[in-house]
Structure 1
Amino acid sequence: MEKEEKIQSLHSPSTKHPWKMTSDSGDFSRLTVIKTENAHQRRLKGTCQTVNISENTSTGVDKERDLLLNGSKACKQNDDVQTLTCRSSHGVVSVIGRRREMEDAVKVGLGFMVKGGEKFDFYGVYDGHGGSGVAEECKERLHKVLVEEIVVEEGGNGIDWGRTMKRSFEKMDEEVSRGRLGEEMVGSTAVVAVVGNGKVVVANCGDSRAVLSRGGVAVALSFDHKPERPDELERVEAAGGRVINWNGHRVLGVLATSRSIVHAGDGYLKPFVICKPEVNIRELTDGDEFLILASDGLWDVVSNKVACQVVRKCLNSRVRRKSIAIVDGNRNRAAGAAAVLVELAMARGSKDNISVIVVELNKT
């Protein structure tokens, strides 16, 4: 059970942080973002293409930065941020954060597959290491490989998602290993979700994460593959590897995740760092509200519970209405919720790239 967190005033340990979060009653009941001098505009630009600075006399706040995504059909990409506008049932925000390079990649494939008259949607978050090459390859190929590798259950009653996901991740790993990405150490985590036919199927390899909000409760649909996780530690050591605490627990003192899709340049890690995903299949119910997929840039500083609280407030319009994106004439609360989560992670001092997908399950 996760310990309940309070959203408090926050400051970066290394610099005066430009954002301050406040809360009522020690829980997430109101989110106020204050713009101060020397704000890190370069790090956050593009997260919101339109920014309003308005007076807020009722709360005594001089200036408020509304988290607002504009209504354009496609947001521009630059060196600092990738922002994708989507249909009203989901939203995506991916930012460089405090890193020098962008190594995250995200993919949304609506109706990427039709089987038995049922349409399936695909969502993926990839967090690269050593560069963005493998993450970008996964973004372009993994959902296509998934369609190619579909395994039907015995008796033809449906898709065997466990076997299908494992075969797809293995093939993706093989393709990356044969690719021309150089000999440097490079790889990527992968957390993907397929929604359709009354199910949500999550496959995870690494420390990105998927969380479902069911009846107001945060339900983890994946569990981080950290080297210090007892079963992962046992697996690595049984294969002849070691986990060394060198600026955090790392396989061979190098990689901070025990599972990953890796290039041949990482070959010496492959006996210990594997690409086999853990697969979680859930039947969707009327109580399932939304799904969050995100890289560890979010989860390192925000718990499952608080993330779901934030998104729920946004989707229920209890965060300021200007925080809601307008896409094709529709209010996209999911995009606003993703933006708020990114801002919260930045405020809490996340030092990594941050990528977030929010999916409203009752609108897919």
Structure 2
Amino acid sequence: MAYRLLQPVNSASIKLKGVARYHDYVRVSVPGGSARVPLSSPKVIGVSNSRGNRGHQEDFYAFATLSLNPAELQKGLKQFHKVDWDPSAVGDPHSRQVLFVGLYDGHGGSAVAQYLRQELHGLFESAKKTDIPEVFQWVKEIGGYFKRFKGGPLTPWLAEGNEEEMDLEARATLTFFEVDRNLSSVDRAAETCGATASVAILQSLDAPATPFFSAKDLCITVAHCGDTKVLISAIEDGKVFPMTEKHHADGRVENKRLRKMMGSSLITDSFGESRWMGALQNTRSLGDLQYKKFGITSEPEVRTKMLRGQEWASMILVSDGVSSILSDQEIADLTRNAPDPKVAAERIVSFSQELGGDDNATAIVVPLAGWGKTTGPDQTKELREYRQKQSIGNERQKRM
């Protein structure tokens, strides 16, 4: 039986890496076996995607369940969280199953964002540690900024013969670099076109196996380039916890990285926005190949967190068409009491546009075990009502 992803992918380009094992459903243990729950159900993952007032769409997304080596997942849990997870207690195929959710915001065109939507999850699943020396060599040949690059998370595998398993940080870094290498040989548009990317990997640690939306113990790992956002919302007072930080030239992390390696090429444009090389607002992205030797990098910032699933209501991904209008807490509060994740995502995008957002806007809401159980008052309700009234008043003045 064939399965269709919510946004169709072209698996032909993955054949060189081996047979793809990703699916558009999540396996759920049931008495006597397992059942398949489609990820495209609005009760499983909610998505809202709008062009705004733009004549083109450069926001794209994809999600799938991947099949990863349990030994690799086990290593990462031990290394970063001191958690002893036994995949044999879960059993195949559940011990290999992780949820992949990716949000891609293109700039300078949609080519790179569309490529990521089609290919990134397959490349992530099929990445092999034996590819690291060759990919590293390609990165070094970029020159400029990368002359000083020592390998980062890939360093242990630069020498051939290292049998140690990768962790998710190394896998994400390898995959993001491999995207740029692929683009450099197949798509000239990627010289001047790029995309930000936020990728979230959710792994249930429960035995017997449970899916991400009901897991008691859950590990979330985020690989991130640019200014798309990943947030997790707690049930206690609806508090929001950001898993990402904007990669802008004047940001704390990026300012330190770029000044250390490249000096200063930060230019403020006529709108008062800081741009690297006078052109790019984001200092980490995929594509934008002509800027890579000048400090723009596709190396993701990777963060990971262990969750007690019942203490968290949802994971939310948004593009900057939303986050430039709404605060993190406003975004989280808009999901309160939504009947399903789809409605929650629609609320976020609709309200951001109601307040004047005209950019491409995307929201993805992934329910966790605490979905629908948020406690305490809506922290931003009065603020949102005030902003809504202001927006209506401003719109009336424009019409007068």
TM-score (normalizing by structure 2): 0.61
Residue matched to 1:256: 281
Q: Specify the code of the residue in structure 2 equivalent to 1:201.
A: T
Residue matched to 2:357: 350
Instruction: Percent identity, please.
Output: 26
Match runs of 1:173-322 below 5 Å: 173-182=180-189, 185-197=192-204, 198-214=218-234, 215=236, 216-238=238-260, 239-246=262-269, 247=271, 248-264=273-289, 267-285=290-308, 286-314=310-338, 317=339
Contact 1:151 1:161 in 2 (8 A): no
Residue matched to 2:382: none
Contact 1:94 1:106 in 2 (8 A): no
- Partners of 2:227 and 2:51 lie apart in 1 by 18
- Partners of 2:7 and 2:176 lie apart in 1 by 30
Contact 2:169 2:302 in 1 (8 A): yes
Residue matched to 2:67: 113
Contact 2:184 2:190 in 1 (8 A): no
Q: Specify the code of the residue in structure 2 equivalent to 1:260.
A: S
Deviation at 1:201, TM superposition (A): 1.0
Deviation at 1:293, TM superposition (A): 0.7
- Partners of 2:190 and 2:7 lie apart in 1 by 32
Match runs of 1:71-82 below 5 Å: none
Deviation at 1:90, TM superposition (A): 1.3
Match runs of 1:55-70 below 5 Å: none
Residue matched to 1:6: none
Deviation at 1:335, TM superposition (A): 0.3
Instruction: Please tell me the root mean square deviation across aligned C-alpha atoms, in Å.
Output: 3.0
Q: 2:122 aligns with which of 144, 153, 168?
A: 144
- Partners of 1:276 and 1:183 lie apart in 2 by 16
DSSP-derived class of the 1:313 partner: coil
Contact 1:124 1:193 in 2 (8 A): yes
Structure (1/2) with the larger helix percentage: 2
Deviation at 1:272, TM superposition (A): 1.5
- Partners of 2:114 and 2:172 lie apart in 1 by 19
Deviation at 1:351, TM superposition (A): 2.6
- Partners of 1:304 and 1:140 lie apart in 2 by 28
- Partners of 1:151 and 1:361 lie apart in 2 by 32
Alignment pair present for 1:103 and 2:58: yes
Q: Specify the code of the residue in structure 2 equivalent to 1:191.
A: S
Contact 2:222 2:304 in 1 (8 A): yes
Task: Give the aligned length.
Answer: 266
Q: Specify the code of the residue in structure 1 equivalent to 2:108.
A: G
- Partners of 2:49 and 2:351 lie apart in 1 by 13
DSSP-derived class of the 1:284 partner: strand
- Partners of 1:351 and 1:212 lie apart in 2 by 25
Deviation at 1:235, TM superposition (A): 2.4
Q: 1:221 to 1:158 in 2, by over 3 A?
A: farther
Match runs of 1:152-171 below 5 Å: 160-171=167-178
Residue matched to 1:134: 112
DSSP-derived class of the 2:258 partner: helix
- Partners of 1:167 and 1:75 lie apart in 2 by 26
Contact 1:94 1:356 in 2 (8 A): yes
Q: 1:177 to 1:86 in 2, by over 3 A?
A: farther
DSSP-derived class of the 2:54 partner: coil
Contact 1:213 1:308 in 2 (8 A): yes
Deviations 1:288-316 (A, max 9, x none): 210001111110011111111111232xx
Contact 1:85 1:335 in 2 (8 A): no
Contact 2:313 2:370 in 1 (8 A): no
Contact 1:244 1:250 in 2 (8 A): yes
Deviation at 1:353, TM superposition (A): 0.5
DSSP-derived class of the 2:336 partner: helix
Deviation at 1:284, TM superposition (A): 2.1
DSSP-derived class of the 1:312 partner: coil
- Partners of 2:116 and 2:172 lie apart in 1 by 13
Q: Specify the code of the residue in structure 2 equivalent to 1:89.
A: V
**Tell me, which stretches of 5 or more residues in structure 1 are unaligned?**
1-72, 78-83, 318-332
Identify the range of structure 1 (286-295 vs 158-167) with the bigger mean alpha-carbon deviation: 158-167
Q: Specify the code of the residue in structure 1 equivalent to 2:296.
A: V
Structure (1/2) with the larger strand percentage: 1
Q: Specify the code of the residue in structure 2 equivalent to 1:130.
A: G
Deviation at 1:121, TM superposition (A): 1.1
Deviation at 1:137, TM superposition (A): 0.6
Q: 2:344 aligns with which of 310, 313, 337?
A: 337
DSSP-derived class of the 1:258 partner: coil
Q: 1:204 to 1:183 in 2, by over 3 A?
A: closer
